[in-house]
Chain A
Amino acid sequence: MPYTLDTQEVDTARRSFTRGIVALGGLAIAPGVVLYHSAEAKPANQPVSGKQRWGMLVNTNVCQEDCDACVTACNEENGLWSLDRPATDAQWIRKLHVKDRQTGHVTSLPMMCQHCEHPPCVDVCPTGASFRREDGIVLVNKHTCIGCRYCMMACPYKARSFIHEPLQDQLPHSPRGKGCVESCTLCVHKVDRGDNNTACAEACTKDGHQALVFGDLNDPDSEISKQLKRHGGSQIRADLGLNTGVRYQGI
């Protein structure tokens, strides 16, 4: 059957009436009423959307030099069991200590995938395995990763690890294996579950430092957005124009 153009006439009166009703409704709830912004999990059968952009704020002023609770929590949460070979063990988050030679001041900060808006790892991936989810989380689709490691070279943050040997005892929510590249997933399984937090941020808060705040950068009422608006937060290597989802204070 040939395609036919739908030439139904538009009922303009009906359309303007609907518009009027919507406008009236808007006027009615506008004064003094703030629509409750739900932080609930999306329904499991719905795809993620660009309405959220998940990010992290690191306050290096309160990050303790001798603490690595975030690293331990990440390893435990994602089953990154060490093979006791530090040179090749996977690390999704690591602690850095940066010393200002002039003043001698040491800044301690966690470094992980910065979940860029324009991720270089995605640009260079030959198979499309490196990708940015609609909600801003940068991931590796290990089903399509061929282990070429271009992304590791492209990443300015040295955030990715390659798995060199067969693994065992992986956790169900965190499949990992030989021949694939991996990095911080911003605890995507927790985000999808509606936990609204990551393992590292939870551990930091539990230890009473509160140096890590996870949240939705697109939601002006979220804690992370409020703090960023009030105190600001810088990107590491902002000159690259990647618009990172992880922001730092105090550097």
Chain B
Amino acid sequence: MAELKQSMLVSRIAHSRFLWLAVIMVTCVSMIRVFAGSPENIPPPKGKYSEDTVCVEPVEIMRRRHFEYILDHRDKTVIEGIRTKQYSLIGCIDCHITPNERGEYARYSEETHFCASCHLFTAVTIDCFQCHADRPEEAVRTTLDLSGTTAWFLREVHERLQLDVLVQ
């Protein structure tokens, strides 16, 4: 009898609509918090591209096609030496990656980085920032001046990683 009562209780809990609703809601809220990088935390861009347009193209088009513009522009820049600002990655970064209220610039590994915020949400993996700077030059230079130990830190990480492999 006791076993039957227990199983009835379990099934009642499992079939409770309110409980499921609550579980779904909590999951949704935490998903949004984790993946959306909460837009209010992303510092606004430096300014407008021109009087008429906020970005180099209308925002709706940029959201869908920015990678096509960048891809097209990169070959023109590298091979032909065309250095127009409109579709240059440096231009994107200079305008969109701005310091937060504490004066810190987000890196691509952080969800408050303008590019990362959306790429995380849409599960897009890019490798632009393995080579390209994810922050404007002044931010890179500040980091270097501040610590001067970046190289040391990298070396430490590298050595520890190697050590871990050996231990395993």
Contact = CB atoms under 8 A, between A and B. Distances in A.
A143 B83 contact: no
Contacts of A42: 81
B66 interface: no
Interface range for A: 35 or more
A83 B151 contact: yes
A81 interface: yes
Q: How many B residues touch the partner, as a band? A: 20 to 34
Contact of A82 (B132, B133, B136, B151): B151
A133 B133 CA distance: 24
Contact of A171 (B78, B80, B85, B140): B140
A147 to B, nearest CB: 12
Given A165-B158, A170-B132, A175-B132, A81 B81 contact: no
A175 B127 CA distance: 12
Give chain A's interface secondary structure class.
Answer: loop
Interface string A178-198: 101000000010001100000
B131 A44 contact: no
B125 interface: no
A149 interface: no
Given A47-B81, A81-B150, A83-B154, A172 B133 contact: yes
A249 to B, nearest CB: 29
Interface in A24-65: 42, 44-48
A9 interface: no
Interface of B: 74-76, 78-85, 90, 93-94, 130-133, 136-137, 140, 143-144, 150-152, 154-155, 158
